[in-house]
Amino acid sequence: MRHSDTAAPQRITVTIDRDLEEIVPTFLANRTRDLETLRTSVSVQDYETIRVLGHRLKGDGGGYGFPALSEMGGAMELAAGRHDQPAIERIIAQLQDYLARVTVVYR
């Protein structure tokens, strides 16, 4: 489970254990769905939901082989804790960008 983000400027290639091939697409799909929830939450200033989502992302990302997602989750959890809306919006944008560019290679 080693990742590299230097394969192509537009692409982030992540290598993941073949064992997880079945569940990684679901995981990534769920993260795309998170984006909707996060945006809604930001608009209604529901920081608790954002904190929980951030915390889960922090916990789960690494397990699936996406340490970058864990980092984003951790940052989001902290930002939600201090009700830092600009930071939250920045991280949501990062997350959206990452999800758009990530490519998974199973080995």
- Positions touching other proteins (CB under 8 A) are 1, 17, 19-20, 22-23, 26-27, 30, 52, 55-56, 58-64, 67, 70, 74
Least Cβ distance, residue 32 to other proteins (angstroms) = 13
If DSSP codes are grouped into helix, strand and coil, which group holds residue 102? Answer: strand
Nearer to other proteins, 5 or 60 (CB): 60
Taking the complex as a whole, the smallest distance from the CB of residue 71 to other proteins amounts, in Å, to 12
Dump the DSSP string for 30-81: HHHHHHHHHHHHHHHT-HHHHHHHHHHHHHHHHHHT-HHHHHHHHHHHHHHH
How does DSSP classify residue 99?
A: H
Provide the minimum distance between the beta carbon of 10 and other proteins in the complex, in angstroms, as a whole number.
Answer: 26
By C-beta, is 14 or 58 nearer to other proteins? Answer: 58
User: Are β-strands 11-16 and 3-8 bridged in parallel, bridged antiparallel, or unpaired?
Assistant: antiparallel
Nearest residue (CB) to other proteins, 11 versus 40: 40
Query: Measured from the CB of residue 8, what is the shortest distance to other proteins in angstroms?
Result: 26
For residue 95, the number of C-alpha atoms closer than 13 Å in the C-beta half-sphere is: 31
